[in-house]
Amino acid sequence: AQTIHQWPVAEIKAVGSPLSLGCTIKGKSSPNLYWYWQATGGTLQQLFYSITVGQVESVVQLNLSASRPKDDQFILSTEKLLLSHSGFYLCAWSTGENTLYFGAGTRLSVL
């Protein structure tokens, strides 16, 4: 069975500090990987997707970047956090047939 693990579970960070969030998928080779962001009480905004190692496509510009260093790993990062980066970050995977399977998420508070 496939499992998706996100880390950390929660972060409290200062404005201007760096950030790195991670996601690992086990039990599935070559998954499509996604990062979504959900503002408090809001809808989901797709940030990035990746269909293979080393290739990441950006969907929106939010002063964030993503990388896929390994087949089963997806990293979201920024060098300088903004207040507007606060929210719930969700990693997801799919087999390319559109159904997304989400991780438990990382709750980020930027102060």
Partner 1 sequence: GEKVEQHESTLSVREGDSAVINCTYTDTASSYFPWYKQEAGKSLHFVIDIRSNVDRKQSQRLTVLLDKKAKRFSLHITATQPEDSAIYFCAASKGYNKLTFGKGTVLLVSP
Contact residues for partner 1, defined by CB under 8 A: 32, 34, 42-44, 46, 49, 51, 57, 59, 90, 94, 96, 98-105
Q: Which is nearer to partner 1, 44 or 53 (CB)?
A: 44
Q: Which is nearer to partner 1, 29 or 96 (CB)?
A: 96
- Backbone conformation region of residue 16, classed left if phi is above 0, alpha if psi is from -120 to 50, else beta: left
Least CB distance to partner 1 at residue 79 (A):
26
Q: Which is nearer to partner 1, 14 or 56 (CB)?
A: 56
Least CB distance to partner 1 at residue 35 (A):
12
Q: Give the separation between CA 70 and CA 54, rounded to whole angstroms.
A: 8
Cβ contacts of 18 within 8 Å, gap of 6 or more:
77, 78, 79, 80, 81
Spatial contact of 73 and 22, defined as CB atoms under 8 Å apart: yes
In the three-class reduction of DSSP (H, G, I as helix; E, B as strand; rest coil), residue 71 is classed as: coil
Least CB distance to partner 1 at residue 32 (A):
6
